[in-house]
Structure formats: structure tokens, C-alpha cells
Chains A and B, each alone.
Chain A
């Protein structure tokens, strides 16, 4: 069952006279109770996609397409309705917890205000709920009166998770929840999110560029390159049988596979190469590649890939 369906989403920024096509025709479906990974290199538009889903992009941006959540197109919603959906139906954990937590409000306050605002709870009740949430993410509830700067990076990340989960949303978007954490903390956070998401029957869109994390957590993975989804498959398929040359290179660049290098640099989003956006770096360019922009093609095992190599299949 699909919980969220994104159709041909385009997000264009207007930056200093140039159009940055941060998302350029995204089609994506998040099913109920699934963990969908979104991987791809820095700046390919993952976070933008995550924010677009919750309607959190600034005003100077042009958005087209459809984001249908439970039969409502988020892009058509009034600000009021959107506000109700945010937090309550769709939660988001932003990328950098140090910046995403308000430095002058206590951690407890920042969580409990969600209850107070959305559920009109009294102070006391909200505090009890907050304590529960904190306990759940492994933070001593006694510390709810402390301020973000008194917490370590991992703890801040936990607070962000508690905040995202506070109202039991149907969909949680987690933007690189493990970035910048040391391996032990990282493992703990991964386990925590998995456990909570599974226990609560929710869906998770996990944005990351850490394949290890994706492997541990995800059911399916979407691979993004230069503002497009280029491959969607189950995690097993991605790891064992990557189809798109980019995905293959990505896997081969891991130390385990001998750190095999790929030539070239990631393309700019304001003037991407014509045709397939990966073709300048691709090992197996064929005639079509530089000219025509490839479409998503279904291959075996429900894998979709945007590559001419699979056209005939």
C-alpha cells in the first residue's frame, strides 16, 4: 500500500540568476511500514526532496508536480492544513541537530510544545509525555530541563528523533541521522530508529549516503544522482546486483571492494550535462547516452533503473 506518492516533482531554485534544478522529475512511492533509503552523493538533492515532502522549502523556490499523502496533494494544501499534517502525520528529523535545535529553549520544552500545540495538553501532561519520549530514545528524562549545548552530538540526534516521533506520525523523514557520529554511537542510533519505526508501524524515508547504514535499515533503496532518481530496488538487489553504472561504481568505491575509483566530478545542478547526466563519468557509454535523457525502466525483481543499457530488456 502506498502511503506517499511523489509524481514528477520538480524543485527549482532561483539563485543569483541561475536556476538550480535541485529535484528534476522525481517519481517515488513510499509504502506503508517500509523503510525506504535515499542515497546519493552530496548535493544531489536528497534533503531538498525530504523538505519538499513536508512543505518546508523557502519562498524563492519553484515547485511542480504532485506529492500525494493519503489522498491529499501536499502542494495544494492550505498553510493551515499543512501545519496540521506536519509533525502529526509526517515528521522530519533535520540534517544537522546542532543547528536544528533552538539554543535558548530547553530540550524538554522543545519536545513538549508539540504536545501542547497539537493536542492542547496541559503543561504537566505534556511534560510527562516528553519524559516518556526521552526515555524511549535513551535520554535520562531528568535532563529535559537542560539546553541543547549541554548535550553531545549523539544525544542531540536522539532529541531530534524524539521530536520527530512525538506524535506518532505515519511517515518519518530522517535526514542523515548518523552523519558525524562515531561508529559506536552510529550503531546505537541506527538500532534505535529501526526499533521505534518497526514498533510503531510507521514508514521511514531514510536519507543517507552511508551504504552501511542503508544496508542495515532499509527495505528498498532509491539512488539519486543530480536531482533524479536513477535506480530503485530492494536493498538486497542493490547490493548484490546493482544495475545502473553509477550504483555499481558507488558500491565498488567502498574499501571492501578495493576503493575502485571513478573518474570525473559530480555535475552542477544548474547546467547538468545533456542526455544521461552520468554519461561523462560512465564506463559504458553507448550512442544514446549523451543525447537523450533516459527514462525509468523496470527490470527484473521490481528494480527500476534509468539507463539505456537496459532498454531492450
Chain B
């Protein structure tokens, strides 16, 4: 039985960035969320297939179609320091101090009331499907003891299956088993997250068995590792979709037809099978991953058709008059400035961008790629100094399609102005009736496909690789989670 093996029941997981924030006043960047998800828990949780299930809240209800939400908290749950979990902790966790309240998705949260020790009431400014929002790992429930009397952060104290033990900056974070965990006590004695920034090093560390499990494996390593006998590769379609966002406010992509031409020129299926080694699902413009809620099954997707793309361009008046392979109109060449981020989160983006550049070159568009860090991107974005950006999963967590906010005109990332769209997105988010909501989201998807504020490329597949002696792992669809429920080690040397 696994328990007997406890001497080696210490899991080592490699991640790419350190956890440099443990407190709710900031967003946990990079891979920090994998670690947070072991220490902290949320009121509402998702199971491995994105079904919404009780977390720290046992149940919830909304008496007024989404403007007020009442959560009944689980009894007999204790924080890592032994203090009981209660309504105060919820109020603390969603106070004005918290990131999610201050900057994030819960800005329309008016206030929280404690009804009794185990009941809290969230009052919103407008109707919202709040339980979905509360599944996000990045805004979990923390103990008020996380801070001292002056409000300075002391230690990460949550209710999760593992307790924070120690952290050595840029090296490792050690978590140990929470003996008093509310659910099934974890088999693992401890989980150590090792910080290894370089992807190749991460893979080699797994192969030398210096680490047991790696997250965010680069696509190109998958097929090789799938053939290795002593590693297991776990794959599952996630909630994330990579998309090519256009600057519709000015420049060439102001013209919807040109955006369409781009969509027809990109063969997402081929890109997926080559650049991404077949990992993921081609989106062909579908804005929502099939695993997402309200993802419309029947959509009028873009099938690869260069000829059509060429046709559209020439109809729009773009001709190659000087025979340099680049189309031009009124003496202006067809040029686009293409921004790509270099986050560890999306190492695949650079080769994808290059591939896109290649195909667009093919239809006569001169694409200039700029690989930048997020700060630099923000700057160019604000100044409107770009034509396309390659992005992944903004406002995406859990199955709920909050992502559509990204194209609303007031969103800093939108670069798209369409009052109709804005209205539709708002309405969809504020509608409590599931059927109506579904219809609204279906309409939104059709609209995105028709209007193309962005062309959706691939639905991302999550990859976790572990050595075969890691048993009992079940991969979750939602990305920031690392589900170690039921994991144990057997026969590790």
C-alpha cells in the first residue's frame, strides 16, 4: 500500500518561476498559482472536468438572480495555524485590500456581510455569476492571521492540503502535509517545488529523476517523452485559447475584410500539427475552448483557403504592383507590426508567430515580428503602436466565459470599438437565466467569428509529465491548478 512507502513520499515538482508573492493584495505571477493551489483553497471549486463543486463553501444561493449571493461555509475546517475557518476569513479575503477587489474581476462587489459564523452574503452592484468567479486560485481564502496587527504580511496560512514549510528564493518551496486537512488526508508527506527557469534543464532534471513531475512542458518535447518508458505524459484540453488579436482601431486591420483575409490564410490545423507537435486542438477562429461553458458546438469556422484570402485582398484593392512579393495599395505596402510576448507561459508563441509570419508573407503581407516582455507590450499597446498581438487566455479561468470582456471597448486590451458587442457582452454576464445566458454567449461567439476582433488559433492542451513511479495523478482541465489529490509515489529509487 502507498502508506508504507512513506519514506519516499516526497514529491518534487519543477516549475519555471519562483513564488514571489503569497498575499492576496497582489496577483500571483508566473507559476506561483500551482503552489498557491496546494496551500490555499477557494470557496467554490472545480473538479478535474471543470464541473463546479463545493469548496470551502458547502452550498450557495442567489435570492435575486445574481445580485446577492449567500454562501454557507463548511464547518470544522481549520487553517494551518489551527485557527478555525469562518465567515470573518471570507470577509478578510475579499476586503478592499485584496487584489481581486481593488483591481480585478470583483470590482463590482459592493460589500460582504457576515450573517453568522458560517454564512456570508456578497452584495454586488450588478448581477454576476459569482460562484464561477470565486473558483480562481489567485483569489482564495486566506487566514486573517496572514498579516500582523500592522497589516504586514507574516506567513501564508490557508486551509489547503499542504502547509507552507519553507522557501529558499529562486530555489525551492517546501510544503508539508496538512494533517488536519478537511478532506482526504494527502498521502504525500511533502511537496517540493523546484524553480528551474530553463525548459531544457527542467526536462533533463525529470529524466535524471532529480524531479518527479514537471509542469508546462514545451510541446516539442512531448512526442519524444511519450515514447520514453519510464515517464507518463498527461494531456488535457484546457480553458485557454491562443488568439491573434488585431488592432482594429487604426492601421490595415481597421478593415474587417483584411482581418478575414488573415483568418483564411492561416491553416491552424497545420500549425498545430507542426509547430505545436499536434498538441492542442485547432480553433479555426472558435473563441471558446470546447471544454468551456457555453462553447457553441456548431460554429461557422474559418477553413484554410488561401485563394479566398488572395481574392479578398485584391478586391480590397491590394495589388503587387512592383512585384516584390508584397501587396501594395496607393503606393503603400501591406505591412503589419506583430507583437509577441516572451513569457515562460507561452514559449510556443515565438515559433507560432514565425509560422504566421511565413503564411502571411505567402499572401503578400509583410509582417514584422517583435518579441517583447509584457511591460514593453503594454507600452506599445497603449500607444496603439502595433497591428497584431499573439495572446493567450485573457480573463480565463474555470469554465465561465468571462473572456469576452477582452474585446469590450473599455477594456485596455481591446483595440476594438463596437457598442453592440459591448452591450451583448455585458448582458451575457449579467443574465442569471442559464438558457438566456447561453443564447447570449452563442451570439457573442458568432459575432466574434464574423467581426474578427481577433482570430482564435488553437485551444491549448495542458501537459504534465511525471515519472512512472508517480501514481494516482489525474490531470485537470483548468490550467492554474495542480491537482495532487490522491497522488503518491511508488518505487522511487
Is chain B in direct contact with chain A in the complex (CB below 8 A)?
no
List chain A positions with a Cβ less than 8 A from chain B. none
